[in-house]
Amino acid sequence: MSELAELGVAAIRDGVAGGDFSAVEVAEAFNARVAGATALNAFIVATPDKALEAAAVVDADRASGKPLGKLAGVPIGMKDLFATQGVQTTAGSHILEGFIPEYESTVSAKLWDAGAGMLGKLNMDQFAMGSSNETSYFGNVNSPRRRKDGGNAALAPGGSSGGSSAAIAARLCPAATGTDTGGSIRQPAAFTGIAGIKPTYGRCSRWGIVAFASSLDQAGAMARDVTDCAIMLEAMAGFDPKDATSLEMPVPEWEAGLNPDMRGKRVGIPREYRLEGTDPDILKSWDDGIAWMKDAGATIVDISLPHTKYALPAYYIIAPAEASSNLARYDGVRYGLRELPEGAGLQDMYAATRAAGFGPEVKRRVLIGTYVLSAGFYDAYYTQAQKVRALIARDFERAWATCDVILTPTAPSAAFALGDKSADPLAMYLNDVFAVPASLAGLPAMSVPAGLNREGLPLGLQIIGQPFDEQGVLDAGLAIERRAVFSAKPEQWW
């Protein structure tokens, strides 16, 4: 039944509900795909029994006439940042290797309640710090994509949700969770030719998600198309009293509300995103997107987001500052790794544990965060960055007076080869230049596949929406998806 693994979320849900195939058959098909794709290294842990167990419950419920959940029979991948009861949760780091949570994150619990099953825990950049999945302690994820030049350069699946993007593009799962702190859903989606949405900050509960930068972290959905993202996000979102920043708002029926008709909508094109020296293929895909929006009936509006160039440097103060504080909990006492050199005291144990447990990029960011928060530097760096963040948010607020959604490229390049940027942290950071502003402003944003570049690699277009208007983002994404000529399936080499 390998053809079942070609299906997306909506098709699986409808087929299971309609009795065309059983949930167990679907789970078996995807379990086989996961088992056959170890060369991609997309999963840190596979959980075929969990997928089968959830599927058997759905089949039994259907047989006894019980109502089925929104994701009944859909097996998914879970980014290893979400705490899953009884299943190792590492955040891609050695310091959490062997950590078996005693509790379930709110988002994953909601997905299981909706009838989804877990295929496994997906590889990711360590503590979600990275844009290529090369900072994982558990090895690089290989993108299923290859350039069409006949070479076999191993390409980055993007990051930090690189296991999620690779697994979906390779048809190892129809959908997966991601998290986005500064582009970690959208950039990997663009690199692998899938769709991914980060909702408004606060839509999805952060409870049980390993924290990176709490004022930015937001869970979201990744899948092959816009409709599947809408279905997933509906199941993930919702108020949670256990997260103080959770939005106390009803979750709209995004799937039912999908409408690709853009007549009467104004699409903003920010002039500051047209950077000098941008890859002409990227600019062409952006122009294509503008033409598709017009074709869908939208009015195109030139807008200005004047503080755009300061978003990345502000992000690289705020995110490391929050990370240095959040990661203070890894002390070798309560969970995770402990390094206790002979004769060491408590302070030595902390320092030895963190030295052994954190990877180089995590150490780099914790040190930057510690520095910018230290006495004498706090105002010059951290307070200044928070003020610039306010100006970036204000830029967007002003733009909403003249437009409903904003259209930009997702990333300044297509997927790069593994190893290309790993020696230069700053070059890696710059890959998130188009994704970070929406994160700083807490806005919903998604990436949808827009086509292929000259090398045959996918490019993504980003749609940024107003607070709480995930519907507007999904609708614009659907309008693009209907018009983009896109061969979504990578040729299998693994």
Partner 1 sequence: MSVDKATVAKIAALARIRMSDDEVAALVPELNNILGWVEQLGEVDVSGVEPMAAVIPNHLRLRDDVVIDGRVRDAVLANAPAAEHGFFGVPKVIE
Catalytic residue among 165, 184, 413, 447, which? 184
For 176, how many CA atoms within 13 A lie in the half-sphere containing its CB? 35
Residue 275 CB, nearest approach to partner 1 (Å)? 15
Which span sits near partner 1 by CB under 8 A: 97-105, 226-234, 292-300, 409-417? 97-105
Please pick, from the candidates 21, 99, 486, 494, the single residue that binds partner 1 as defined by CB under 8 A: 99
Binding of partner 1 by 21 (CB under 8 A): no
User: In the 3-class helix/strand/coil scheme, how is the chain assigned residue by residue?
Assistant: CHHHHHCCHHHHHHHHHHCCCCHHHHHHHHHHHHHCCHHHCCEEEECHHHHHHHHHHHHHHHHCCCCCCCCCCCEEEEECCECECCECCCCCCHHHCCCCCCCCCHHHHHHHHCCCEEEEEECCCHHHCCCCCCCCCCCCCCCCCCCCCCCCCCECCCCCCHHHHHHHHCCCCCEEEEEECCCCCHHHHHHHCCEEEECCCCCCCCCCECCCCCCCCEEEEEECCHHHHHHHHHHHCCCCCCCCCCCCCCCCCHHHHCCCCCCCCEEEEEHHHCCCCCCHHHHHHHHHHHHHHHHCCCEEEEECCCCHHHHHHHHHHHHHHHHHHHHHHCCCCCCCCCCCCCCCCHHHHHHHHHHHHCCHHHHHHHHHHHHHCCCCCHHHHHHHHHHHHHHHHHHHHHHCCCCCEEEEECCCCCCCECCCCCCCHHHHHHHHCCCHHHHHCCCCEEEEEEEECCCCCEEEEEEEECCCCHHHHHHHHHHHHHHCCCCCCCCCCC
What x/- string results for residues 451 through 490 when contact with partner 1 is judged by CB under 8 A? ----------------x-----------------------
Which span sits near partner 1 by CB under 8 A: 21-29, 167-175, 242-250, 401-409? 242-250
- Subset of 288-317 contacting partner 1 (CB under 8 A): 307, 309-310, 313-314, 316-317
Q: Which of 415, 347, 366 is nearest to 126 (CA)?
A: 366
Q: Which is nearer to partner 1, 273 or 350 (CB)?
A: 350
Residue 300 CB, nearest approach to partner 1 (Å)? 28
Please name the residue that has the structure tokens 């996961």. Answer: 34
Binding of partner 1 by 378 (CB under 8 A): no
Q: Which is nearer to partner 1, 92 or 449 (CB)?
A: 92
Q: Please, is 456 exposed, middle or buried when counting C-beta atoms within 10 Å of its C-beta (0-12, 13-18, 19+)?
A: middle
What x/- string results for residues 321 through 350 when contact with partner 1 is judged by CB under 8 A? ---x---x--xxxxxxxx-x---xxxxxxx
Binding of partner 1 by 248 (CB under 8 A): yes
Binding of partner 1 by 390 (CB under 8 A): yes
How many residues bind partner 1, per CB under 8 A? 73
Q: Which is nearer to partner 1, 387 or 482 (CB)?
A: 387
Catalytic residue among 93, 105, 136, 160, which? 160
Residue 394 CB, nearest approach to partner 1 (Å)? 8
What x/- string results for residues 416 through 455 when contact with partner 1 is judged by CB under 8 A? ---------xx--x----------xxx-------------
* Residues contacting residue 368 through CB under 8 Å, at least 6 positions apart: 316, 317, 320, 324
Please name the residue that has the structure tokens 């309609």. Answer: 18
Please pick, from the candidates 374, 402, 487, 492, the single residue that binds partner 1 as defined by CB under 8 A: 374
Q: Which is nearer to partner 1, 191 or 429 (CB)?
A: 429
Residue 310 CB, nearest approach to partner 1 (Å)? 6
- Subset of 100-139 contacting partner 1 (CB under 8 A): 100-103
What x/- string results for residues 177 through 216 when contact with partner 1 is judged by CB under 8 A? -----------------------xxx------------xx
Q: Which is nearer to partner 1, 174 or 369 (CB)?
A: 369
Residue 43 CB, nearest approach to partner 1 (Å)? 22
Catalytic residue among 79, 121, 198, 421, which? 79
How far apart CA 230 and CA 217 sit, in angstroms, is: 19
Residue 274 CB, nearest approach to partner 1 (Å)? 19
Is 214 assigned a catalytic role? no
- Subset of 350-369 contacting partner 1 (CB under 8 A): 350-352, 354-355, 358, 363-364, 366-368
Binding of partner 1 by 275 (CB under 8 A): no
Q: Which is nearer to partner 1, 30 or 201 (CB)?
A: 201
Q: Which is nearer to partner 1, 258 or 349 (CB)?
A: 349
Is 374 assigned a catalytic role? no
Q: Which is nearer to partner 1, 267 or 406 (CB)?
A: 406
Residue 35 CB, nearest approach to partner 1 (Å)? 28
For 196, how many CA atoms within 13 A lie in the half-sphere containing its CB? 36
Q: Give CA separation, 481 vs 137, 219, 262, in Å.
A: 35, 22, 13
Q: Which is nearer to partner 1, 370 or 471 (CB)?
A: 370
Active-site residues, by number, are 79, 160, 184
